[in-house]
Amino acid sequence: MTLFSPKNVRDFNARRPSDLQIPLPTTFLTLQDILQLPVQNFTVGIGDPYAPQAGFGSVRVSLLVHLFYQDTWRLYSRFVMNYGLGWTYDALLNYDLHKPAYLAPVLGVPGLSPTHKNWKSFSPSVGFAWNASDSSKTVIRGGVGIYYDSQTAFGIADDERVSLGPRGVGRGSYFSGGIRDPITGALLDFSHPTLFTGASLLQVLPTIRTDLTQTRGDPNNRDFSVTNIEVDKQGSVVASNLPSASAVHVGLGVQREMVRDLAVSADFVVRRFNHISPPGLVDANHFSSARGP
C-alpha cells in the first residue's frame, strides 16, 4: 500500500476550496493515524506462491557455462602481448513459453515467440605492455576486451511463468490500476489525494481478495488455451530477444619511474555498457502513460 504523504495532501488542499479539502489527522503517532492518509496505489497477491517450472516441475535447472582460452606472447624482450577468447552460455530464462495472440498489439507477431537463447556471447580480449626505454623506466600498456555478466533473472522468469501459465496456476500480483472499488466501482489508482484512505482500503480488501480468488480459477489447471495474463489484463513477459548485459573495456596508460621507489602513472580508461536496463521494467503497453495503455 502506498499512501500520499501529509505534504502531498497539504499541497493539494492549498489549491482547493475549504469545503473540498482532504482532512488530515493532527498527529501521526499510531498506525491508525497513518491509515487516515489517502491511498495512492497498492498491490495484492492472490494464489499459490509456488511458481511451477517447465513441465510443471518443482525445480528450475539453469545451465551456466563459461569457456575461455588465453595466452601470452613475448614478441621480443621489451614487448609482451596477451590475448584470449571467452564464450558464455547463460540459460536462466523461459525458453518454452509462447506469448498468447492477445499480446500481439503490444509485442507484434514476431514478439510472441519464446525468449531466444543467447549463443553468441563471445568475449575477445587483447592487451600489451611495452618497455619503451633502454633504461626500463618507462612502460606503455594498453588493452581492450568484451565482458558478459550473468543474467540474474530468476525473479522475472518466475513472474513470466505465472503470467503465461494456465489460468489459475501460480500467484498473481494485481496492481490497483486494474482493481475497482467494490462499492463505488472506481479504479483504485489515484493521481491525486482523495477521500479513499488506507483505512478505507483495509475495509474493502477482504472483498477484493475474495473476488480475485474466485476469478483466479483452478491452481491445478494444465490447459494453456487461456493464460493468466489474458484474463487478468496484468502481468509480465520477457522479450523474445533479451541479450545478456555486456561491457567493452578499453585502457591505455603510461608509467614512468621518476626516482628510485617513485613512479608516476597516467591512464585513460573507457567502459561502455550494453543491455543493462533492468528487464521487466519496460512498460511496453504504456500502462502508466498519461494517455493510458
What are the per-10-residue average pLDDT scores of the chain (293 residues)? 95 90 92 96 91 87 92 93 95 92 93 93 96 89 93 78 93 89 89 94 95 89 93 89 92 94 95 77 78 76
Measured between alpha carbons, how far is 50 from 215 in angstroms, rounded to an integer? 18
Instruction: Decide if 104 contacts 285 (C-beta within 8 A).
Output: no
pTM of the model: 0.76
Task: For residue 145, give the nearest of 122, 115, 111 by alpha carbon.
Answer: 122
C-alpha cell at 216: 483466479
Amino acid 129: pLDDT: 96
The two counts, helices (H) then strands (E), for the chain are 6, 10
Instruction: Decide if 271 contacts 248 (C-beta within 8 A).
Output: yes
Q: Which residues pair with 267 in a beta bridge?
A: 253
Amino acid 104: pLDDT: 95
Residue type at position 41: N
Amino acid 136: pLDDT: 84
Instruction: Decide if 1 contacts 203 (C-beta within 8 A).
Output: no
